[in-house]
Amino acid sequence: MSRTATVRLADGTTVSVSEPDWCTGQHEDDLDLVDLSHDGADTVFLVDTERGPAQLFHAVVTQAPYSTHVEEHRTNVAVHLDNDYYRFRDVAALYTLADQIAEHAVQLRQLARHLDEIHHHGQ
């Protein structure tokens, strides 16, 4: 942690916090200190569709060092799925998610082959 950021808190005071190197330095003002988080760049997973790009999900490296929830003090990856954020603090769990997404891609390819067969048989 080589940088610091000054953030205005909800009570009108300011606080200087050390930032991890991966933090973008964008901090929301007017929050309570317990709600302050360090966030990396948002990684957005888009796919092209006939109606244009569509977002499957997005993920961000994050840490909330002052949270009342001690587990949020650890750096984690928050993945936005099904209208909510799911935090992956364990590297193995994040690899499992990646493997599951890869398995779904295999199933989608099977559907593509099935559609190709249907089209070739005139149905």
HSE on the CB side for 104, CA within 13 Å? Answer: 7
> Looking at residue 122, what is its pLDDT?
74
pTM, rounded to two decimals? 0.85
HSE on the CB side for 15, CA within 13 Å? Answer: 17
User: 58 with 44: CB under 8 angstroms?
Assistant: yes
> Looking at residue 121, what is its pLDDT?
87
Q: What's the CA gap between 1 and 16, in Å, rounded?
A: 13
User: 6 with 15: CB under 8 angstroms?
Assistant: yes
**Mean of the pLDDT values across residues 62-66?**
96
> Looking at residue 103, what is its pLDDT?
97
Q: What's the CA gap between 64 and 33, in Å, rounded?
A: 9
Average model confidence (pLDDT) across the chain: 95
